[in-house]
Amino acid sequence: MAKKTKPLFSPGNFVVYPKHGVGRIVEIEKQIISGVKLELYVIRFEKEKMTLRVPLNKTEVSGMRRLSNPNTMLEAMATLKGRARVKRTMWSRRAQEYEAKINSGSLVSIAEVVRDLHRKDDQPEQSYSERQIYESALGRLAREVAAVEDTDEKTATEKLEKVLLAA
């Protein structure tokens, strides 16, 4: 018999799942898997058109968290305004580091990737893979900003781009 875990989140709550970004808890369902009764969060990721089920007792291990608080939001915005830090290592190594930061679920780490890969009009073109990682990080950041500020992703993206251009 699995021990009863009290839900940290309720249906309707937005959560951040590190590998997928912002999702909304649709329901908490009970299932029997391999003879074990489990309670699962059913999380819907609209952008990816994906549903994920996470056992209540695996919430912490999975890195699932609430949306960022205002202080973390401010820290992420300050990070965007900072100076880009691009290491002089091979692109493949940097790309791995960027992907790890995006998948960490940390808003500030994602903001670092956006800041480091952002290109102003007067700067050289990005490679295809640089652009892909940049857009992935920008989208992930914009979806969390949109959820926190109760707006849409397009508006949040425009806000982030203004911050980047003003830096």
Dist CA 72 CA 152 (whole Å):
20
- Is residue 1 very low, low, confident or very high in pLDDT (cuts 50, 70, 90)? very low
Task: Summarize pLDDT for 54-69 with one digit per residue, the tens.
Answer: 999 999 899 999 999 9
C-alpha separations of 43 from 2, 56, 69, 83 in Å: 21, 12, 20, 36
- Indicate the pTM of the whole model: 0.87
The whole-number pLDDT of residue 3 equals 54
Number of domains, the chain: 2
pLDDT at position 7: 80
Tell me: do 27 and 101 sit in the same domain. Answer: no
- Which H/E stretch holds residue 68? none
- Domain containing residue 121: CATH number: 1.20.58.1290
88 vs 80, residue with greater confidence: 80
What residues make up the domain containing 22? 14-66
Average pLDDT over residues 128-154: 95
Kindly state whether residues 108 and 154 are assigned to the same domain.
Answer: yes
